[in-house]
Chain A
Amino acid sequence: MLGTRATDESIAILRSQLGLDKPLHQQYIDFVSDAARLEFGTSLTLRTDIGSLIAARAKNSARLLVYSIIVSLLIAVPLAILAAVRRNRPADHLVRLFTTITFAMPAFWTGLLLVLIFSIRLGFFPTSGLGEGWINLALSLTLPAVTIGFYLAPVLLRSLRSSLIETLSSEFVEAARARGLSERRVLLKHVLRNSLIAMITVLGVNIGFLISGAVVVENVFSIPGLGSLMVTSIISRDYPVIVALTLVFAVIVIIVNLLVDLSYALLDPRIRL
């Protein structure tokens, strides 16, 4: 931080400023007690308070995540239903082929491909960055969200298909059919409703996968979110920011898992917490 010509004196001053002269356990206690109060110190390169830096960027990441969850479900749920209902028929094989191909697509490459087609050739969406105002914001988040959708959908699809197949062969579905209900009604009212829990679980389990995708995709589209902050901090070796971000990501995963557990009780009256 001081360059190669730093004097011993200035090194000593910086060490005491950063608290590096204290014993290791004291440094750790200081870090934990500060982190508990959401005080992560100041960034080494940007010279700003890390807490407010993260808060400002978390908003963008949160929007992207919500948008991409919606897109992933829009891709995965209809295809999973199709594959489960027509299992081992051509439609199922086609869905399987789709899953295999999208699973092998690097998220950053999917993003570039979409930019190439929809921004450069067709000019529908901006190539990168975030737009001002709601409409432009939604427009600029569309390609990133679709990219993450293609990344997450195959993972969701596989689990959803098998859970739907399980539900389809359960006794209450047979009972519903025996009562003469239409296939559409059986599917929408009985099967889908009972697969909701599986859907939420699959999403909860893959929240880590989703965040991983978002980290990469934010960098492709230069969205000022937590993921792009993480990468720039690593490149500039801004350790306090890296530590704070790692902690934030861990907390997000814990909160999402808690919400998933809580939602079970809401969705299924048989489950009491």
Chain B
Amino acid sequence: MTTHNSTIAHIPESAWKRLRTRSVSQRRWSAYTLWVGVFIVALVTFLSVAAPVLGFTEPNNTDLTQRLLPPSREHFFGTDDVGRDVFTRVLYGGRIDLSFGLITTYVSLAAGLVIGAIAGYYGGFLDSIVMRAVDLVISFPFIVLILAITAITGPGITGPYVGVLAVSWALYARLTRGEMLAMREKQYVMAAQTLGFSTWRIIFVHCIPNLLRSNLVFSMSDIVLNILTLAALSYLGLGVTPPTAEWGEIIAQGQRNLFAAWWISTLTGFYVVFVGVGFSLVGDGLADRLGEDGGGT
């Protein structure tokens, strides 16, 4: 909704009507955004969790008579160079990628929320120490940092977990701390202080529930980023190692047959984009509904 307060007097009746209808249609638009997003996320989660029940049982079942088959009714995404069904692998890969996205994002959110809230509430020396640490972590190219960590841990899923957790708490800490600075001056916080509540009670019971909102909105784009980071690391051969099915790994395997079989990498990538768009739509819808603007990066 956009109104030019200073020019309100000059807006003719017809324009007002347009403004009003637009804001209504916009609200409906944001409701669609949210529910379409929720639907996509629920769908891909369901497909990955229920894959064995739905008949997609063997992600690593090789069949050399069925090599490099194009997409068909039996193989939605075709088959790869050793005859594995790509769609089945994508669904099983989803188990690793989705759980990685959810775990890293919400553990970081919880840690960043508490750290940022405490730093913002107390301010002073503690605050400057925390914020310098945040600056340090955020300014560094995260892939390089995570690569350096995988250099220590070796290939496997541990490196990405440690690396992403080491970085992404800082984003939530910065976001929360900024809001806490403003919230500290709010009347209900002052009232709680006057009532003699303990500082911990004020932070955890009075402030944190209110600070959750913007963090939740941001977490949706963070999930996408974290999933893409794991996929990128696996693509480079430093994350999940073959033959374990993972989105980045499937795309990397498909690259070897890019000339002969475009579908392996291409369709898997479209699925990843579909998932990412789902989470982003949830984030956009939440932002509109909770009265945030834009939300995230």
Q: Which residues of chain A have a CB within 8 Å of any CB of chain B?
A: 87-88, 93, 96, 100-101, 103-110, 112-113, 115-116, 120, 155, 158-159, 161-162, 169, 174, 207-212, 215-216, 219, 230-231, 233-235, 237, 239, 242, 245-246, 249-250, 253, 257
Contacts and interface: CB of A to CB of B under 8 A. Distances in A.
12 contacts: A87-B2, A104-B273, A104-B277, A105-B272, A106-B235, A116-B258, A120-B259, A162-B294, A208-B139, A216-B232, A233-B151, A246-B144
Contacts of A155: 297
What are the nearest 8 A-B pairs in CB distance? A104-B276, A109-B269, A212-B143, A211-B141, A208-B141, A100-B280, A234-B151, A249-B144
B272 A106 contact: yes
Contact of B281 (A100, A158, A230): A100
B235 A216 contact: yes
B151 A239 contact: yes
A237 B139 contact: no
B86 to A, nearest CB: 14
Contact of A211 (B1, B144, B284, B297): B144
A207 B139 CA distance: 8
A207 B279 CA distance: 25
Q: How large is the interface on B (under 10, 10 to 19, 20 to 34, 35 or more residues)?
A: 35 or more
Nearest to B265: A112
Interface of B: 1-2, 4, 6, 22, 26, 29, 138-145, 147-148, 150-151, 221, 224, 228, 231-232, 235-238, 247-248, 251-252, 254-255, 258-259, 262, 265-266, 268-269, 272-277, 279-281, 284, 293-294, 296-297
Given A109-B268, A110-B269, A113-B269, 9 more contacts: A104-B275, A106-B228, A108-B251, A109-B269, A112-B254, A116-B266, A212-B144, A216-B235, A219-B236
B269 A216 contact: no
A105 B269 CA distance: 7
Nearest to B137: A208
Contact of A120 (B247, B258, B276): B258
Contacts of A109: 251, 265, 268-269, 272
Nearest to A112: B265
Given A116-B258, A249-B144, A235 B238 contact: yes
B293 A162 contact: yes
A174 B145 CA distance: 46
Contacts of B237: 231, 235
